Amino acid sequence: MGHDIRLTASDHFELGAYRADPEGAPKAAVVVVQEIFGVNHHIRNVCDRFAAQGYVAIAPSIFDRIEPNFQCGYSPDEVAVARKFVANPDWPAMLRDTQAAIDAVSDVGPVGIIGFCLGGSIAYGAATKLRGLTAAIGYYGGAIVRFADDKPTVPTQLHFGENDSGIPLSDVETIKTKRPELELFVYGGAQHGFGCDERASYDRPSADLAKQRSLAFFAKHLVKP
């Protein structure tokens, strides 16, 4: 359903991306922002699933500045390697590359953004700093608490796992306190990565409910005039 494309950021850096288009006329577009594992099989599947729902979906390869075409799975060794990419994250560069993806699908209609793990934090940052978005969704973004003083300019929905070892509930409470206007959900018993059906931490009931809420959120906000 999807194919690889190239994007150009505002600083002229070229990066890869995966784009999936629906069979019929698209109702809107969604930028899908990766975890630390690159635009891998799971992220491509997320794009394909959005395309099946009638959206153009695009996932920029935001690690291309460090290692082009990087992608991996979820074994302990692969996780250890992937974590090196975010030891000192270049947030402005990742946002520039995300903006390039937004711009690439802006002709479709309203554009939403959804991100997971690292991508959840980027989706929140995009909601506060980037142009061309209509709605944003972030899943278990560990850095969101650091950015919570920045107010999103578009409707934003956040999802967290109750038992996420990397995101304490105190961080979630801080976000709630600073940004009470957001839709924020905590999933009982769920761990980090609960929404990825290729990870050991996958929690199907939580993932299904979060997906239902996400699709309803986009259906509400990504509406063509």
Cα 68 from chain centroid? 19
Q: Is pLDDT at 67 greater than 80 in this prediction?
A: yes
| pLDDT confidence band for 1 (50 / 70 / 90) | confident
User: Of 21, 42, 64, 117, which one is the catalytic site residue?
Assistant: 117
Cα 28 from chain centroid? 16
pLDDT tens for each residue of 8-29: 999 999 999 999 999 999 999 9
The pLDDT assigned to 91 comes to 97
CA dihedral 53, 158, 185, 36 (to 10 degrees): 90
Residues 6+ apart with CB under 8 A from 95: 122, 125, 126, 129, 130
Mean pLDDT across 116-135: 98
Q: What is the largest CA-CA distance in the chain?
A: 48
Q: Checking phi first, is residue 111 left (phi over 0); if not, alpha (psi -120 to 50) or beta?
A: beta
| pLDDT confidence band for 153 (50 / 70 / 90) | very high
Mean pLDDT across 208-222: 98
Angstrom distance (rounded) from CA 65 to CA 12: 12
Structure tokens at 109: 């209609």
For residue 10, CA distances in Å to 86, 112, 115, 219 come to 22, 20, 21, 30
User: Of 103, 164, 171, 203, which one is the catalytic site residue?
Assistant: 164
User: Of 42, 64, 159, 192, which one is the catalytic site residue?
Assistant: 192
Helix 118-129 to helix 91-104 angle, to the nearest 10 degrees? 70
Angstrom distance (rounded) from CA 186 to CA 44: 25
| pLDDT confidence band for 193 (50 / 70 / 90) | very high
The pLDDT assigned to 23 comes to 94
List, in order of start, the domains of the chain with CATH numbers.
2-221 (3.40.50.1820)
The pLDDT assigned to 225 comes to 81
117 is catalytic: yes
| Average predicted confidence (pLDDT) for the chain | 97
192 is catalytic: yes
Q: pTM for the full model?
A: 0.97
| pLDDT confidence band for 79 (50 / 70 / 90) | very high
Residues 6+ apart with CB under 8 A from 75: none
The pLDDT assigned to 224 comes to 85
CA dihedral 175, 179, 184, 188 (to 10 degrees): 30
196 is catalytic: no
